[in-house]
Structure 1
Amino acid sequence: MDYVAVNYRKEPPDEATLRDILGKLEDEPTALVRRDALFKKLELTDADVSTVDQIVETILANKMIMQRPVVVVGDTAIIGRPKERIRELLGG
């Protein structure tokens, strides 16, 4: 299967790309934000990333907070954790 791998560190998604991903995401939009040490360091709460606009703003300001990998196939996007989800999406 052909695919395009995008290294978000070198090529972070812009606002339009994030909104496109969020529009296709099978998971809740809030799942695109990692709840890790950076989330705590930035003193974020779930209320700070509860809308699409807040999620986009947060990721644009802090690319490392985006959950990954994100896999987009056609009109469907998933967060590839656990990795078995990727196989399921790709039909194998």
Structure 2
Amino acid sequence: MSNKIKVEFCQSNMSRHASSRDAFAFVKEHAPADAVDVVEMKCGGICVACKMSPYALINKKYVTALDADEFFQRFKKELEKQTAADTTRKAI
């Protein structure tokens, strides 16, 4: 079992919402590969929400917002929170 933080993106959502693509690019560029596993899934299975707003799953936590800037801020905040929690778990 991997101790990596799992960040999942829906391809359909990224094709609909630029902020979802921006979050994907951000995590691919800035997150350490040994700590974060980025998954690009074909479909997240939450089509109604997918059509309305950008989203991502970080360790199965659903992160979204109707506003693109707010989504990106929430996404970064949750990623930082999960990274800090992961670092604490590894130190114990």
Question: TM-score over 0.5 for the alignment?
Answer: no
**Does 1 or 2 have the higher relative contact order (CA < 8 Å, sep 6+)?**
2
If the length of structure 1 is used for normalisation, what is the TM-score?
A: 0.30
If the length of structure 2 is used for normalisation, what is the TM-score?
A: 0.30
Question: Between Structure 1 and Structure 2, which shows a larger proportion of strand residues?
Answer: 2
Question: Between Structure 1 and Structure 2, which shows a larger proportion of helix residues?
Answer: 2
